[in-house]
Amino acid sequence: MNEFPILSSLLDNDFYKFTMQNAVIKLFPLVKAKYKFINRGKHSFPKNFSNSLKENLDKMAHLKLSKKERFFLEKNCPYLDTAYLDFLNKYQYNPKEVNISQKGKDIQIHIEGLWYRTILWEVPLMAIISELYYQLTGANRISNKKIILLTKKKLNKYKKLNIKIGEYGTRRRYSYQIHKLVLKFLKKEGSSSFIGSSNVHLSHILSIKPIGTHGHEWIMFHAAKYGYNIADKIAMKNWLNIYGKNLGIALSDTYTTPIFFKNFDQKLANIFEGIRHDSGDPISFTEETIKHYKKFKINPLQKKIIFSDNLNPYKVANISSFCKNKITPFFCIGTNFTNDVGPTSMNIVIKMVKAIPKKKWISVVKLSNVKEKSTGDKKMIFYAKKILQIP
């Protein structure tokens, strides 16, 4: 295995992890959380994989925010206040929060601790798992030259569609080096089409805009604390309390889209600049979104939909064609940019599974528009569906 750590920066993470961390510190500093690794793709891990993973996690404990990184955040993310940046200056990963074990070809990972601390583990841990997997299984990839040619071909298609695209591919990238290679090219050749990257570290070193808002765990926690029916609404209101009209994209599918729209009232629909689509049929979702805005006499062309669900050029072309002259689409592309290099990309996730919103652990669940993307305790999923009257 490479003696150098896979991660070399505290900011090698998705932007929305930092924005959520800031919000958690402000509103829920005493809450504890548990996360679990889910091997959706049933990947077989090689012998001693867990040991290599632990070695990389131990090295992460030495990562600290540099002065240049802090200046980058101050300049590009003014809504992250001084108090939070002071906290981040002192933050260090604690590998003791992560328990890793291996039995045969299966690995198990559990994360536990204060939510504001453990929230940063998910994305870099997945990136390390993915890169280590390809290293230790000896996966052969195409050459850097072919990767650039493939990226160029995709980018040219997006340019012809005259759309805006971003990069969301940290968590399942083939490697850090390929991620950097692709992003360099997107920055150089993307012109007005390329809007930024979710990876804060690479955004810093390549002078790219970091993009993103919040993830499903923000709403999952609110459901555990306030109930499923109003989780979306309170999560959005709390987000507005922290960020105002900054970072104004609402996430639509934590408890299915119909439940989201029940919570997305006229005031919220006006304040938020758009909605992120992350599961289910994108065309049906677009129709429902347009219908919802029109119900409140809001011009859909003044709003955005951020599409981020397993995108490729074919899907993007279909969606953008449907959205034309109806609503403004943006496309944030992940694995198809950072792990389209030959070997099958990994299908893995790390999800929050429990939280302590009051005095005891409560199982948290996500009810996606697609059954396979739902996560959490089966009994609690059944209970949530019953409350929300979801078949």
Q: For 190-240, write each residue's pLDDT tens digit.
A: 988 999 999 999 999 999 999 999 999 999 999 999 999 999 999 999 999
Residue 308 lies in a domain: yes
Question: What is the per-residue pLDDT for 253?
Answer: 96
The CATH number given to whatever domain includes residue 135 is 3.20.140.10
For residue 2, tell me if it sits in a domain.
no
The domain tally of the chain equals 2
Predicted confidence (pLDDT) at residue 4 exceeds the cutoff of 70: no
Question: pLDDT of 12-53, one tens digit each?
Answer: 999 999 999 999 999 999 999 999 999 999 999 999 999 999
What pLDDT score does 373 carry? 84
Do 48 and 107 belong to one domain?
yes
**Is the domain of 48 the same as that of 133?**
yes
DSSP H or E run through 381:
helix 378-388
Q: How far is CA 32 from CA 101, 123, 217, 319, in A?
A: 22, 19, 13, 39
> Is residue 3 in a domain?
no
Q: Is residue 171 within 8 Å of 212, Cβ to Cβ?
A: no
Q: State which residues form the domain around 290.
A: 144-338
Q: Do 201 and 293 fall into the same domain?
A: yes
In a domain, 304, yes or no: yes
Q: What is the pLDDT of residues 254-263, one digit of tens each?
A: 999 999 999 9
Same domain? For 318 and 372 the reply is: no
Q: Does 177 share its domain with 224?
A: yes
Q: Is 84 exposed, middle or buried (0-12, 13-18, 19+ CB in 10 A)?
A: buried
Residue 106 forms part of a structural domain: yes
Q: How many CB atoms lie within 10 A of CB 130?
A: 24
pLDDT exceeds 60 at position 383: yes
Percent of the chain with pLDDT over 70: 99
How many angstroms separate the CA atoms of 69 and 72, rounded? Answer: 5
Q: How far is CA 337 from CA 185, 186, 310, 350, in A?
A: 11, 10, 11, 21
Rounded Cα gap, residues 19 and 77, in angstroms: 10
Find the mean pLDDT for residues 345-357: 97
Q: How confident is the model at residue 371 (pLDDT cuts 50, 70, 90)?
A: confident
When the pLDDT of each residue in the chain is averaged and rounded to a whole number, the result is: 96
| pLDDT tens figures, 158-169 | 999 999 999 999
Residues 115 and 182 in one domain: no
Give a yes or no: residue 7 inside a domain.
no
Residue 98 lies in a domain: yes
Contact of 383 with 63, CB cutoff 8 Å: no
Neighbour count for residue 207 (Cβ, 10 Å):
9
Mean pLDDT of 266-279: 98
* 1 pLDDT tier (thresholds 50, 70, 90): very low
Annotate 207-255 with DSSP letters as a single string. T--B-----HHHHHHHHHHH-TTTHHHHHHHHHHHHHTTTT-EEE--TB
Is 154 in the same domain as 111?
no
Beta bridge partners of 363: 354
Residues 130 and 23 in one domain: yes
| Residue 295 CB contacts under 8 Å (≥ 6 apart), including other chains | none
Confirm whether 9 is domain-assigned: no
116 in the same domain as 26: yes
Q: Would the pLDDT of 5 be above 90?
A: no
Residues 194, 323 within the same domain: yes
Same structural domain, 135 and 152: no
Q: Same structural domain for residues 135 and 151?
A: no
